[in-house]
């Protein structure tokens, strides 16, 4: 199992969609022969965060050029509330290698810490070095949108698509942006492209469903929610499905699903 970074909703519902960066995992070795980096993966798998942190710190003392170890350590520190230490580690990584996950997490952490200008500076550097990556561009677009500069955000979204025409998350971000601001076809075309590129992404189908629903394309939204639920039966998507069914007049079916959802929510885990 690999762990996802825990980002705020600032980057869309979410930035985790746009930049799905994970703690880097290697195949487990035997417990007796595990060097620190591999040992950290076992600790992460079993929820032993403190031990994982110590193992990663040990790994960096032995191999200070291990970008993945430093990145993983930064994530663990950020998740435990040590954001400034995590930021320092992301910066250290970027001083030796333009590691895209470190850049994305650094920009997000800086933004959340109120250092938007520095986040923009790092992302702008990233667009010149990582010329074929869409991520820095659509993260810049998110900042521009938040600052109210819709024209600049539009340009940055387009540059993201030009940098990497096969990045489904870039299309998804642009689609949601267009939907929010009622631009072009309100994101329908870009959302469709995103789901074609990411057919197994449950949150992508849910967001596309929201875009379709906002454009009063309820039947197509229903299909998108169903596709999302077939991949991952999340409560949020099921609630959207229920609401869409009601708006289409399928009250009995909506009530049936709602009862099942309520029953599941009320179930308590068995005591051990």
Quickly count: other Cβ atoms within 10 Å of residue 183's Cβ: 15
Cα–Cα distances in Å, from 7 out to 10, 15, 16, 50, 78? 8, 7, 7, 20, 10
Please state, in angstroms and rounded to a whole number, the distance separating the CA atoms of residues 227 and 221.
10
Please state, in angstroms and rounded to a whole number, the distance separating the CA atoms of residues 142 and 38.
36
Digit-coded pLDDT (tens) for 88-124: 999 999 999 999 999 999 999 999 999 999 999 999 9
Digit-coded pLDDT (tens) for 250-259: 898 888 888 8
Please state, in angstroms and rounded to a whole number, the distance separating the CA atoms of residues 79 and 85.
11
**Per-residue tokens: 131:** 């010329």
Going along the chain from its start, the domains and CATH numbers come out as: 1-21+34-95 (1.25.40.10)
b (16+ CB within 10 A) / e for 1-11:
eebebebeeeb
Digit-coded pLDDT (tens) for 17-67: 444 445 555 444 444 457 999 999 999 999 999 999 999 999 999 999 999
């Amino acid at each position: 199992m690999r762990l996802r970074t825990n980002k705020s909703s600032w980057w869309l519902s979410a930035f985790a969609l746009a930049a799905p960066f994970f703690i880097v995992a290697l195949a487990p070795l035997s417990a007796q022969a595990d060097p620190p980096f591999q040992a950290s993966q076992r600790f992460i798998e079993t929820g032993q965060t403190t031990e994982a942190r110590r193992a990663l710190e040990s790994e960096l003392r032995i191999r200070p050029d291990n970008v993945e170890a430093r990145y993983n350590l930064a994530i663990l520190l950020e998740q435990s509330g040590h954001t400034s230490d995590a930021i320092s580690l992301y910066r250290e990584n970027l001083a030796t290698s333009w590691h895209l996950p470190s850049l994305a997490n650094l920009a997000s952490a800086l933004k959340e810490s109120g250092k938007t200008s520095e986040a923009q500076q790092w992302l702008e550097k990233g667009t010149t070095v990582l010329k074929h990556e869409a991520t820095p561009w659509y993260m810049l677009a998110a900042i521009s949108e938040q600052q109210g500069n819709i024209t600049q955000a539009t340009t940055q979204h387009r540059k993201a698509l030009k940098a990497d025409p096969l990045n489904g998350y870039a299309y998804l971000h642009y689609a949601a942006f267009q939907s929010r601001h009622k631009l072009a076809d309100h994101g329908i075309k870009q959302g469709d492209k995103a789901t074609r590129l990411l057919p197994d992404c449950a949150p992508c189908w849910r967001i596309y469903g929201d875009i379709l629903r906002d454009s009063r394309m309820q039947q197509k939204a229903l299909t998108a929610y169903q596709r999302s639920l077939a991949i991952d039966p999340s409560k949020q998507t099921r609630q959207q499905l229920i609401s869409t069914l009601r708006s289409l007049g399928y009250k009995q079916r909506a009530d049936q699903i709602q009862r099942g959802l309520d029953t599941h929510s009320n179930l308590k885990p068995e005591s051990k």
